[in-house]
Amino acid sequence: MTGPGGGAPPAEATSEAAPAPGGGRRGAGPRSIASRLMENRWAGLAGLAVALLAPFVNASPYALSVMTSAAIFVMLAAGLNIVVGYCGLLDLGYIAFFAVGAYTSGVLSTRLGLPLVATLPAVLVVTVIAGLVIGAPTLRLRSDYLAIVTLGFGEIIRVTATNLDVTGGPSGIYGIPGLTEGPVSFYYLTVLVVAVAVIGAARLGRSRLGRAWRFVREDEDAAEAMGVHTYKVKMAAYVVGAIWGGLAGVLFAAHLSAVSPGSFTFLQSALVLMAVVLGGMGSIRGVVVGAVIVSLLPELLRDLADYRYVAFGVLLIIVMLVRPQGLWPARPKEVAK
Amino acid sequence: MNAPLLSVEGLRLAFGGVVAIDGLTFAVGEAEIVSVIGPNGAGKTSAFNCVTGFYRPTAGSVRLRGRDITGLRPSAVAALGVARTFQNLRLFGEMSVLDNVRAGTHLRIRQNVLDALLHTPRYRRSERESTEQAHHWLDFAGLRGDRYGPARALPYGEQRRVEIARALARRPDLLLLDEPAAGLNHTEKAEMLDLIRRIREQGVAIVLIEHDMGLVMDVSQRVVVLNFGREIADGPPDEVRRDPQVVEAYLGRDADEAEIEQARASVAGGRDGGA
Amino acid sequence: MSQLVWNGLFVGSFYALVALGYSMVYGIIKLLNFAHGDLYMLGAFVGFAVLGAAGGVSAAMALPVLLLVLVLTMGVTGLAGVVLERVAYRRLRGAPRLSLLITAVGASFALEYGMRAGAGADPRVYPVRLSGTTLEVLGARVTLQQLTLVAVAVILMIGLNLLVNRSREGRAMRAVALDPRAAALMGIDVDAIISRTFFLGSALAGAAGVMAGAHYGKIDFMMGFLIGLKAFTAAVIGGIGNIPGTMLGGLLLGLLESFGTFWLGGEWRDVFAFGVLILFLTVRPTGLLGERVTERV
User: Would an 8 Å CB–CB cutoff place C133 in contact with chain B?
Assistant: no
User: Would an 8 Å CB–CB cutoff place C296 in contact with chain B?
Assistant: yes
What is the chain C residue with the closest CA to B16? C294
What's the angle, vertex CA C195, arms to CA C192 and CA C197, rounded to 5? Answer: 110
Sign of CA dihedral B208, B214, B215, B218: positive
- Give chain C positions within 8 Å (CB) of B74: 297
Q: Does C281 contact A137 at a Cβ distance shorter than 8 Å?
A: yes
Q: Does A21 contact B106 at a Cβ distance shorter than 8 Å?
A: no
B&C contacts, CB < 8 Å: 13
Domain range annotation of chain B: 1-6+30-42+52-62+73-81+173-275, 90-171
- Give chain A positions within 8 Å (CB) of B101: none
Cα separation, B247 vs C178, in Å, equals 36
Q: Does C92 contact A320 at a Cβ distance shorter than 8 Å?
A: yes
What is the chain C residue with the closest CA to A267? C109
Cα separation, C90 vs C190, in Å, equals 11
Q: Give the pLDDT band (50/70/90) at residue B255.
A: very low
Is the backbone of residue C230 left (phi > 0), alpha (psi -120 to 50) or beta?
alpha
A19 CB-near residues (< 8 Å, 6+ apart): none
The reported pLDDT for the residue numbered C31 is: 85
The reported pLDDT for the residue numbered A28 is: 39
Burial of residue C138 (CB within 10 Å: 0-12, 13-18, 19+) is: exposed
- Whether the pLDDT of residue A218 is over 60: the answer is yes
- Give chain A positions within 8 Å (CB) of C109: 270, 309-310, 312-313, 316
End-to-end CA distance of chain A: 23
Q: Does C271 contact A156 at a Cβ distance shorter than 8 Å?
A: yes
- Whether the pLDDT of residue A5 is over 60: the answer is no
Mean residue pLDDT of chain C comes to 85
Q: 168-227 in B: which are within 8 Å (CB) of C?
A: none
Cα separation, A28 vs B148, in Å, equals 8
Fold match flag (B1-6+30-42+52-62+73-81+173-275 vs B90-171): yes
Phi, psi of A22 (to 5 degrees): 70, 25
Cα separation, C133 vs C141, in Å, equals 10
Of the candidates C265, C230, C280, C277, which has an alpha carbon nearest to the alpha carbon of residue C250?
A: C230
Contact (Cβ atoms closer than 8 angstroms) between residue C87 and residue C162: no
The verdict on residue C211 lying in a domain is yes
Cα separation, A253 vs B231, in Å, equals 67
Q: Which of A270, A277, A321 comes nearest C92 by C-beta? A: A321
As a whole number, mean pLDDT of residues B110-114 equals 90
Q: Which of B15, B16, B71 comes nearest C297 by C-beta? A: B71
Cα separation, C30 vs C32, in Å, equals 7
Q: Which of A27, A208, A335 comes nearest B146 by C-beta? A: A27
Q: Count H helices and E strands in chain A, helices first.
A: 13, 0
Contact (Cβ atoms closer than 8 angstroms) between residue C297 and residue B54: yes
Least Cα separation, residue B272 to chain A (angstroms): 33
> For C200-242, how does the pLDDT look when each residue is reduced to its tens digit (9 = 90+)?
999 999 999 998 888 888 899 989 988 988 898 888 888 887 8
User: Would an 8 Å CB–CB cutoff place B54 in contact with chain C?
Assistant: yes
Q: Which of B16, B55, B71 comes nearest C296 by C-beta? A: B55
Q: Does C117 contact A306 at a Cβ distance shorter than 8 Å?
A: yes
Q: How many residues does chain A have?
A: 337
Range of the domain at A140: 59-264
The verdict on residue A124 lying in a domain is yes
The reported pLDDT for the residue numbered C167 is: 87
Q: Does B16 contact C297 at a Cβ distance shorter than 8 Å?
A: no
Number of structural domains in chain A: 1
A&C contacts, CB < 8 Å: 123
Least Cα separation, residue A18 to chain C (angstroms): 39
Cα separation, B183 vs A235, in Å, equals 38
> HSE-up of B138 (CA within 13 Å, CB side)?
33
- Give chain B positions within 8 Å (CB) of A12: 119, 124
Cα separation, A252 vs A106, in Å, equals 10
Q: Which of the four CATH numbers 3.60.21.10, 1.10.3720.10, 3.40.50.300, 1.10.260.40 does domain B1-6+30-42+52-62+73-81+173-275 have?
A: 3.40.50.300
Q: How many residues does chain C have?
A: 297
What is the chain C residue with the closest CA to A277? C102
Rg (CA), chain C: 19
> For A222-238, how does the pLDDT look when each residue is reduced to its tens digit (9 = 90+)?
999 999 999 999 999 99
Mean residue pLDDT of chain A comes to 84
Cα separation, A88 vs C112, in Å, equals 26
- Whether the pLDDT of residue C114 is over 60: the answer is yes
CA dihedral C89, C93, C97, C103 (to 10 degrees): -20
Q: 22-61 in C: which are within 8 Å (CB) of A?
A: 30-32, 34
Q: Give the pLDDT band (50/70/90) at residue C57.
A: low
Cα separation, A215 vs A213, in Å, equals 5
Q: Which of the four CATH numbers 3.40.50.970, 3.50.50.60, 3.90.380.10, 3.40.50.300 does domain B90-171 have?
A: 3.40.50.300
- Give chain B positions within 8 Å (CB) of C293: none
Those chains having 3 or more beta-carbon pairs within 8 angstroms of chain A are: B, C
Cα separation, C55 vs C157, in Å, equals 31
Q: Give the pLDDT band (50/70/90) at residue A36.
A: low
User: Would an 8 Å CB–CB cutoff place B156 in contact with chain C?
Assistant: no
Number of structural domains in chain C: 1
Range of the domain at C127: 14-224
As a whole number, mean pLDDT of residues A192-207 equals 94
> For C38-55, how does the pLDDT look when each residue is reduced to its tens digit (9 = 90+)?
999 999 999 999 888 876
- Whether the pLDDT of residue C296 is over 50: the answer is no
Q: Which residues of C118-132 are buried (b: 16+ CB within 10 A; e: fewer)?
A: ebeeeebebbbbbeb
- Whether the pLDDT of residue A45 is over 80: the answer is yes
Cα separation, C121 vs C131, in Å, equals 27
Least Cα separation, residue A169 to chain C (angstroms): 11
The reported pLDDT for the residue numbered B264 is: 52
Sign of CA dihedral A254, A256, A257, A258: negative
The reported pLDDT for the residue numbered C267 is: 80
Q: Count H helices and E strands in chain B, helices first.
A: 11, 10
Amino acid letter at B224? V
Contact (Cβ atoms closer than 8 angstroms) between residue C211 and residue C147: no
Q: Does A313 contact C103 at a Cβ distance shorter than 8 Å?
A: no
> For B177-218, how does the pLDDT look when each residue is reduced to its tens digit (9 = 90+)?
999 998 899 999 999 999 999 999 999 999 999 988 889 999
